[in-house]
Each structure stands twice: as structure tokens, then as C-alpha cells.
């Protein structure tokens, strides 16, 4: 008998992933705290659950796409309490590796498999099925759980990290590198400003020279146009950098640039830019100058 699939968390990332799963399976039981999102996917053929417990009682495989650690902790505990042996919880959220391992142990005690599979690639990638998946398991284990036929609906790049929590560990490390680099890009632009070098000339040289980095090119057009409509909101950057800080604290890893980067983003939040794109930190740094 085909597995019944559930989905909790129909935000910017969750909704397109849930829609792709619905197209694949023909049925889906869904829950979101804001009813309008649940109602939207019900119109496409999904079944609504009144709460997370309702999803636990009906689904065999449950996907989560939640904002942060507090929500994951709350929802997973409800799922385990109301779930049954043999269920699988696939957590697509970005949270701490320590929390992933705790949730996996809780699930194991009841015969419920919990696996962290954070994703990268934005809402467009989720809709187009081109997300990168960072998996807290070996390739062999992931295959044995029979999950790939479902995750193929929204992802096409798989990275198997071996153990629970390692999917989120590499996601957090990657995001730290990108967001810290963005603060360096901002300071470099402030230097160019002070010397009368135009934005256009700055990007023409740096994107073709050794100072180039992926996020420099990715945010180039937003900076040139002064467009701070969110692709990845600055508030989410702070959340991810706090997760990186927590990871370093848990593992007793020294990291100086992380704390510096985090303070720049916190200044941007204090200036009211939290809901804007992450690149608003560059505007903040230039304004400080």
C-alpha cells in the first residue's frame, strides 16, 4: 500500500514542496498555523488537518518545513506523542544539529525515524524541483527508508552527510560562509564609496578578479538597483548565524569572524531592515561610513 504523506509548514519554501508532493502522490494531509495557507492547498486536492497531532494520526511519512528550533521542538514532540512505530519524520527545517540529534533519539524510543534534510535553493528551486538536499544519513540508509521518490519532487542535488544533525551542520556552515562574505563585500563597497569609485566600476572589477565570491555576484543587481525586496530575509540570516554561534559553543570551536558578521546583521535589524533582503546589511555598512 502506498505511503500516506503529510506536510507541516506551508511557508515560502514549504508550500511549493508540498504542492510538488501532492502532484506526485495524489493525496496529502497538510497543516499550517495560518489557515489561509492550508485552505489554499486544500483547493488543490490536499486534506486539511486541524493540528500537528492530526497529521501524526493519518500520515506515514511527515515532512516539516518550519521557521526555527522552537517550532521544530514543539511539533516533533507532538508528532512523536501521537505517532506510531514505523513512521518517518523528514525535517526540512534549518535548526541546530544538537536539536536534530535530540529529536532523533526521542523518535527512536517509539520506533519513529526522524531525519534532518535541510534544503537550499529558495522558493523557485522548491517549485522547480532543483533544491540541494543536505541529508543527516548515509546514502544507503536514505535509500532503505524509501524517501528519494518523494524528495525527488523538489530536489535534484543530494549530499549525504552520514549521521543525524550533520545535514544541518553543513547547511549552517555554508550559510555562515556566505553571510560573513556578504559583510566583507559591504565593507569593500564602503571603501570604494570613500574613494569615489562607482558601484558599477566596483562590480566590474571585483566580479572578474580574485576578490569575487558567489554572493557578490548573486546580490550584484539588487545592490545596483537599490532593490531590497526579500529573497532571503535578513531576519533569517540572524537566525542562521545564531545557529552557527550555538554550534561553535556546543563544540567549543573558536570563531572570530562569525561574531563580527552577526553584529553587522544585528545593526541592520536595529535599523529596521530585518524583513528586507539579506543584502540590506551592505546598505547598513555603507550608511555607517
Instruction: Give the bridge partners for 131, in sequence order.
Output: 155
Strand partners, 49: none
Are 95 and 103 spatial neighbours (Cβ–Cβ below 8 Å)? no
Q: How far apart are CA 154 and CA 126, in angstroms?
A: 5
Taking CA atoms, 231 is separated from 58, 271, 277, 278, in Å, by 34, 19, 6, 8
Catalytic residue among 171, 220, 222, 239: 171
Residue 88 pairs in a beta bridge with 61, 113
Asked whether 119 and 232 are in contact (CB, 8 A), the reply is no
Q: Is 171 a known active-site residue?
A: yes
Euclidean distance between CA atoms 92 and 135, whole angstroms? 9
Q: Can you point out the beta strands (E) in the chain?
A: 5-8, 29-31, 47-48, 61-64, 88-91, 113-116, 119-120, 131-135, 155-160
DSSP state of 289: -
* Residues marked as catalytic: 171
Amino acid at each position: 500500500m502506498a505511503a500516506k504523506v503529510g506536510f507541516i509548514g506551508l511557508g515560502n519554501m514549504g508550500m511549493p514542496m508540498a504542492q510538488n508532493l501532492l502532484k506526485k502522490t495524489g493525496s496529502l494531509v497538510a497543516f499550517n498555523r495560518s489557515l489561509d495557507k492550508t485552505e489554499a492547498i486544500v483547493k488543490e486536492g490536499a486534506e486539511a488537518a486541524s493540528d500537528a497531532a492530526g497529521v501524526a494520526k493519518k500520515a506515514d511519512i511527515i515532512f516539516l518545513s518550519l521557521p526555527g528550533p522552537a517550532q521544530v521542538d514543539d511539533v516533533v514532540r507532538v508528532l512523536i506523542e501521537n505517532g506510531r512505530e514505523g513512521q518517518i519524520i523528514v525535517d526540512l527545517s534549518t535548526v541546530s544539529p544538537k536539536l536534530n540529534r535530540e529529536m532523533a533519539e526521542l523518535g527512536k524510543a517509539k520506533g519513529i525515524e526522524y531525519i534532518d534534510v535541510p534544503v537550499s535553493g529558495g522558493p523557485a528551486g522548491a517549485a522547480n524541483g532543483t533544491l540541494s538536499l543536505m541529508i543527516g544519513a548515509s546514502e544507503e540508509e536514505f535509500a532503505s527508508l524509501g524517501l528519494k521518490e518523494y524528495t525527488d519532487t523538489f530536489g535534484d542535488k543530494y549530499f549525504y552527510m552520514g549521521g543525524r544533525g550533520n545535514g544541518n551542520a553543513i547547511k549552517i556552515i555554508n550559510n555562515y560562509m556566505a553571510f560573513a562574505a556578504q559583510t566583507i563585500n559591504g565593507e569593500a563597497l564602503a571603501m570604494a564609496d570613500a574613494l569615489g569609485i562607482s558601484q558599477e566600476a566596483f562590480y566590474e572589477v571585483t566580479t572578474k578578479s580574485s576578490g569575487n565570491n558567489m554572493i557578490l555576484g548573486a546580490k550584484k543587481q539588487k545592490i545596483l538597483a537599490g532593490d531590497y525586496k526579500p529573497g532571503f530575509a535578513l531576519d533569517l540570516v540572524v537566525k542562521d548565524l545564531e545557529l552557527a554561534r550555538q554550534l561553535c559553543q556546543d563544540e567549543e570551536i573558536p570563531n572570530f569572524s562569525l561574531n563580527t558578521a552577526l553584529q553587522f546583521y544585528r545593526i541592520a535589524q536595529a535599523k529596521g531592515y530585518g524583513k528586507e533582503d539579506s543584502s540590506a546589511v551592505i546598505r547598513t555598512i555603507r550608511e555607517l561610513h
